[in-house]
Amino acid sequence: MEAAAELETDVVTALPARIAVGGGTALFLDGRCRTPAGIDSLDVAFGGSVHPTLGFGLAPPRMRGEDYWWAIVPICAVAGRREAEVELRARDGAGRALTARLGAVTLEPGLDRAGSSAFARPEGGEGPLVAICIATYEPDPEMFEVQIESIRAQTHRNWVCLVSDDASNPRASAEIQRVIDGDPRFELSVSPENRGFYANFERALAMVPPEAEMVALSDQDDRWYPDKLERLLGALEPGAGLVFSDMRITTTSGRVLADTYWGFRPVNFTDFGGLVIANTVTGAASLFRAELLDDILPFPPRHGAAYHDHWIAQVAMALGPISYLDAPTYDYVQHDEAALGFLRANGEGRYSAPLSERAKIWYSRWSGRGFRLGWRVPYFRLYCRVRVATTALRLRLGDRLAPDRRATLDRIADDPGGIAWLIRRGVRDLGGATSTIGRERVMLAGLAWRRGAEARRRLRRLRRRALARR
């Protein structure tokens, strides 16, 4: 084997120092590599297992060059902590095998989970014990207090509340402590470092005591209706692992923006493929059985705009049905009058417009880019994010996946069958909004970019070889 130095590499996305694997997970890897003779094939070796890259020899995102590569690596469950070496294995244009070490990742079997708790049970606390998980980071003091008081006012009294704070500043941490102080049903744990909301919700879920039967998520600045937990518990159908409700959209000043979240697209709680492509389960609207935590935790390493509630919903629906309560159970507070969070999650409303209006919007956006297709972005932001989740689901749930669920995961692929499936789904919303707000067509655009870019790379290689022979 040739010397590793002949394969030059640069990191684009840094390797994580540590990954909690659980029943299996997946990791997006990328970087730059080059060799004087060019590269004919490129694989990634992770912990001894070799996996083909999804692409190489292309321009890096927002950079120039022809040396970018990327891969999604499946990581199987591990029995104990171990180091996984990561390296690239290439074959260059001269037929030589080259390697380059990228680093090492510590693999952990799972997360440290909470032991039995000593929470006080309120008088009249009947029914299942619900663990409410809040992930905080420097919350608005007034809004946080409103949220906590709305939890204290719940008609379902048998609950405990776990607050994971993401290394807020001392003043904010003191305010959180002041609001919950003296109430033994609350437990505050402050992270020693800022992790971001995704990992902070994971940390909050790891705090759930084993005696909890149900888990509910809460934002730090909404307002629950007094019967929220009671109604969700009543709406959880037998055999369903998760239930979620509608919500009312308000501003911080209390002005009602919408009486329902679903004014721009229909809610989905039956179509597994649609849920994997585009989430409809908002975390703060949901309640799920605590036994699902064994499969939910740990979260897969975050790639792109992955969200904790989307992962939770995918695990729940992969294992069985989920339920929906067609009524708001809380006020979802938007932090400015434009309500960007609500609108962005619903495609800014454009998918519910008539087809002629949508065509005008698409033309405006396309012309604003100088008529460049811009299909590269959806490939990495959407397709690769979905691919990470589907890879992790297959590993983690294995034989427990029903045949129809496994078939759906197999269809979301960069192959002729997967493309045909996306096309069939993608034409459905031409006559009106669907729950996926056109994500199938966005994924198709990304896959078309990948195939076109690969064809151009091969053409460049052929031209260079032809010139070299002259």
Model confidence over 415-452: pLDDT tens digits?
999 999 999 998 887 777 889 989 999 999 999 998 98
pTM: 0.90
Q: Range(s) for CATH 2.60.40.650 in the chain?
A: 4-108
**Token digits of residue 124:** 């009249």
CA angle, residues 272, 277, 281, in degrees to nearest 5: 70
**Token digits of residue 265:** 């697209």
How far apart are alpha carbons 415 and 410 in whole angstroms?
Answer: 10
User: What three-state secondary structure class fits 60?
Assistant: coil
Confidence at residue 282, expressed as pLDDT on a 0 to 100 scale: 96
Burial grade of 116 (CB within 10 A; 0-12, 13-18, 19 or more): exposed
Closest to 120 in 3D by CA, of 112, 129, 128, 110? 129
Does a cis peptide bond (omega within 30 degrees of 0) precede residue 328?
no
Burial grade of 298 (CB within 10 A; 0-12, 13-18, 19 or more): buried
How far apart are alpha carbons 464 and 124 in whole angstroms?
Answer: 78
The per-residue pLDDT for range 72-105, each reduced to its tens digit, is 999 999 999 999 999 999 999 888 999 999 999 9
CATH number of 4-108: 2.60.40.650
**Rounded mean pLDDT, 352-361:** 55
The count of other CB atoms within 10 Å of the CB of residue 467 is: 8
Task: Check residues 10 and 290 and name the one with the higher pLDDT.
Answer: 290
Confidence of residue 216 (pLDDT cuts 50, 70, 90): very high
The per-residue pLDDT for range 399-419, each reduced to its tens digit, is 999 999 999 999 999 999 999
How far apart are alpha carbons 336 and 250 in whole angstroms?
Answer: 10
Confidence of residue 4 (pLDDT cuts 50, 70, 90): very low
Confidence at residue 458, expressed as pLDDT on a 0 to 100 scale: 83
Q: In 109-185, where do the E strands start and end?
A: 130-136, 159-165
Give Cα separations from 247 to 145, 222, 262, 328 (angstroms). Answer: 20, 10, 9, 4
Confidence of residue 467 (pLDDT cuts 50, 70, 90): confident
**Token digits of residue 424:** 């069939």
The per-residue pLDDT for range 288-328, each reduced to its tens digit, is 999 999 999 999 999 999 999 999 999 999 999 999 999 99
CATH fit for domain 130-345, picks 3.40.50.2300, 3.90.870.10, 3.30.1280.10, 3.90.550.10: 3.90.550.10
Q: In 378-442, where do the E strands start and end?
A: none
How far apart are alpha carbons 7 and 25 in whole angstroms?
Answer: 28
**Token digits of residue 351:** 């998918």
Q: Range(s) for CATH 3.90.550.10 in the chain?
A: 130-345
Contact 104, 83 (CB under 8 A): yes
Question: Is the pLDDT confidence value at 394 over 60?
Answer: yes
User: What three-state secondary structure class fits 333?
Assistant: strand
Q: In 110-184, where do the E strands start and end?
A: 130-136, 159-165
Contact 240, 156 (CB under 8 A): no
User: What three-state secondary structure class fits 279?
Assistant: coil
How far apart are alpha carbons 23 and 120 in whole angstroms?
Answer: 33
**Rounded mean pLDDT, 274-281:** 97
How far apart are alpha carbons 347 and 326 in whole angstroms?
Answer: 21
Confidence at residue 366, expressed as pLDDT on a 0 to 100 scale: 47
Strand order in the sheet with 97-108: 18-20, 97-108, 82-92, 39-46, 49-52
**Rounded mean pLDDT, 325-333:** 97
**Token digits of residue 405:** 């669920």
Confidence at residue 1, expressed as pLDDT on a 0 to 100 scale: 41
With b for 16 or more beta-carbon neighbours within 10 A and e for fewer, the 86-115 pattern comes to bbbbbbbeeeeebbbebeebebbeebeebe
